[in-house]
Chain A
């Protein structure tokens, strides 16, 4: 029986495809790197996922689970070929529990759809990546996605209480629970963010967050990036942790304004978007703190959104920033790194220098409150040599962050994109420990192979390490 037939029997003939168009569509994500899918399957139930995983394991074939493919670090790209398991058909919200403030959802549920469905209970799903209109909860779980509002609410892992997962053996296990602090090892915590390398998550129990009673969204313009960054520190030092605290640099403000015409301050070197979520009647005092700190740091304008429309358009500008780049160049390379917040200004200064030296236009939006940078290089991939140049500049930017005590990724993941850089932040022993964990879940490297850890991570041979069972000495 051919693989196509085998998978069709396990699922349904109309949900297995090896047509070139389908393969092409499922061989990439929103980044630039591409793989080559051998076959694509759209399971509709956990049983079908089990069957497909068993087939992949039997054949020793890579299996790459994916959702909407909005990732940027090629976590969902079949770089080693194999079966692409697209989970977008498993998109049911199974249960909303307004009393415990939780919901069981399938992995294909779109992030924003969940918050829409829980609005009637005054609840929402807090992680809000910019791609939230398209990205799936399964993808959020795989990447431990963030978003502007994780400054006060934390990343996806803080909002996942339990997952149902199909292991590489085709078994279904549940990790975590609706009760707090489940006993035993917190394997749920390590599965979130594991990019589909430890199992295929088929259900998640997510935490829902009460909608704020009062919301104020502000846009503060600064003549220097330093001033904007100092305001971020000042606001937090005053004891206020806004729900979100975002920064856009001038390049980004111009790009967004040209497209949105919403009155973004294009004269400013940087603008902050701050949002506070408060008890009834309490927002004004936090707004005043942000206003006075911004004024102290030389803000040229402090605008408080006066209506829901005005608030929405500020966020539209922020969350659609990357789309607005299309007017600058047909392609962009978006990075995701984090530095300690006090290193923000000096890091950004060096990033501009790197881009300038490479002759590449770069602009920035960042989750300033978290120190999470998103330098974006705009370019035209059809020009020979440019892609390589972009990558070289991007690697230098990562190095600039790592040198300052930063990390490789804050919310996009490592995927294939940054796995070879893991050695810049971890020792061989550190990587070996992570590789051992992967090996426990997936000894034959079936599940999304060649992701997260660089090749050879497990090679580190520590003296005294036990030999595998059955080894002849």
Chain B
């Protein structure tokens, strides 16, 4: 594999931006940059650019014009949607058919492609699983301009290797996501947010959408038939509100995301001084820290518990921490999809 370009520098003027309007357009653009060995950043809503080492690039490909719902048959519980579609636009259209793609709740301007490429998930994953579990089909353009479709437009499929899952969290390294087919869930009849004083009680909730520890306060998100939600909320006790009241993620300082086996969440939040938002039972904690040395301290504990601390890139600390042990294998997979390594080079763990 060719090494990531070491000689590329940020040009004084901003790099040229392409806004492909079709998949063929996208393929041509990428093929040209691949031939010229020019690195490319892929930009959707820009909501996940904080993750990974910012690559030095010669051009930007904006995906916003590759947007729109292509196929939505509510009864199939699937949707085919362009990668450049915003979450707000997609969920609004799905809601008309009584469905949801369970995408991140508090990033309406993020794009579907960006969510998939960064492997982001909504808080409702406690009930519905992470985004990768809803990936049915991906159509992507490889670094060298090949149009590759994988998976299928049905809710259950083992036809061929599961590339849709591989694309999830690949940060562009396997291709630019032009469109995806996602598995949907029906919107439940009733939703409620319950604020509870005693976190122990929260753990007794039956299949909640989420249990959030918001800097020490516990919120349980419930869904289901109206009568069931009502009785479940009453059983848990606490302050009950209709609908889902998602908290804001902590602001200011270095953005940090902790991922660790769920049992260690209480130990990890005990180390935090600022605001945090922890997904109980899932093992994801969002917080901010003031200094990279504070990140390093937290990271050393969390890694010893089998977790990772992801911190915003571009500072004097590795954004991912200790890389996985399978870097060589990952590198060899990536080179088959991006031979000249032009797509967001170096953004993944281990400088891949």
Residue of A nearest to B120 (CB): A181
Q: How far is the CA of A149 from the CA of B180 in the complex (A)?
A: 25
* Residue of A279, A281, A427 with most chain B CB atoms under a 10 A cut-off: A279
Q: Which residues of B contact A338 (CB under 8 A)?
A: 152, 154-157
Are A433 and B330 closer than 8 Å at their CB atoms? no
Are B160 and A189 closer than 8 Å at their CB atoms? no
Are A184 and B326 closer than 8 Å at their CB atoms? yes
B237 contacts chain A at the CB level, 8 A cutoff: no
Are B232 and A279 closer than 8 Å at their CB atoms? yes
A146 contacts chain B at the CB level, 8 A cutoff: yes
Nearest Cβ in chain B — how far from A406, in angstroms? 6
Q: Which residues of B contact A412 (CB under 8 A)?
A: 158
Q: Which residues of A contact B38 (CB under 8 A)?
A: none
Q: How far is the CA of A233 from the CA of B74 in the complex (A)?
A: 9
**One of B16-24, B85-93, B344-352 contacting the partner:** B344-352
Are A175 and B225 closer than 8 Å at their CB atoms? no
**One of B167-175, B213-221, B247-255, B270-278 contacting the partner:** B167-175
CB contact under 8 A between A185 and B207, given known A177-B306, A440-B333: no
Residue of B nearest to A340 (CB): B76
Q: How far is the CA of A404 from the CA of B325 in the complex (A)?
A: 43
Q: How far is the CA of A310 from the CA of B259 in the complex (A)?
A: 44
B15 contacts chain A at the CB level, 8 A cutoff: no
Q: For chain B, residues 316 to 352, give those with C-beta under 8 angstroms from any C-beta of chain A.
A: 320-321, 323-327, 329-330, 332-337, 339, 348-350, 352
Are A150 and B156 closer than 8 Å at their CB atoms? yes
A241 contacts chain B at the CB level, 8 A cutoff: yes
Q: Which of B34, B154, B207, B327 contacts A340 (CB 8 A)?
A: B154
**One of A15-23, A45-53, A461-469 contacting the partner:** A461-469
Q: Which residues of B contact A427 (CB under 8 A)?
A: 149
Nearest Cβ in chain B — how far from A344, in angstroms? 10
B133 contacts chain A at the CB level, 8 A cutoff: yes
Are B133 and A154 closer than 8 Å at their CB atoms? yes
Residue of A nearest to B188 (CB): A239
Q: Which residues of A contact B174 (CB under 8 A)?
A: 185
CB contact under 8 A between A183 and B324, given known A189-B165, A236-B75: yes
B interface residues, tally (CB under 8 Å):
88
A473 contacts chain B at the CB level, 8 A cutoff: no
Nearest Cβ in chain B — how far from A388, in angstroms? 24
Nearest Cβ in chain B — how far from A77, in angstroms? 17
Q: How far is the CA of A413 from the CA of B159 in the complex (A)?
A: 7
Are A339 and B154 closer than 8 Å at their CB atoms? yes
Residue of A nearest to B284 (CB): A180
B189 contacts chain A at the CB level, 8 A cutoff: yes
B105 contacts chain A at the CB level, 8 A cutoff: no
CB contact under 8 A between A240 and B259, given known A150-B156, A437-B163, A465-B144: no
Q: Mark B50-93, 1 if CB is under 8 A from A, else 0.
A: 00000000000000000000000111111000000000000000
Q: Which of A175, A431, A433 contacts B336 (CB 8 A)?
A: A433
CB contact under 8 A between A179 and B149, given known A289-B225, A414-B158: no
Q: Which residues of A contact B129 (CB under 8 A)?
A: 154, 158
B95 contacts chain A at the CB level, 8 A cutoff: no
**One of A78-86, A218-226, A366-374 contacting the partner:** A366-374
Nearest Cβ in chain B — how far from A76, in angstroms? 15
B262 contacts chain A at the CB level, 8 A cutoff: yes
B307 contacts chain A at the CB level, 8 A cutoff: yes
Are A178 and B261 closer than 8 Å at their CB atoms? yes
**One of A25-33, A190-198, A261-269, A312-320 contacting the partner:** A190-198
13 interchain pairs (CB within 8 A)?
A: A181-B121, A184-B320, A185-B330, A185-B348, A193-B162, A236-B75, A236-B77, A407-B159, A411-B156, A414-B159, A418-B159, A426-B150, A434-B161
Known: A236-B186, A433-B142. 20 other contacts (CB 8 A): A157-B165, A178-B306, A180-B283, A184-B326, A184-B348, A185-B348, A187-B166, A194-B161, A236-B75, A282-B227, A285-B227, A338-B155, A341-B76, A371-B154, A426-B160, A430-B148, A433-B150, A452-B161, A462-B146, A464-B339
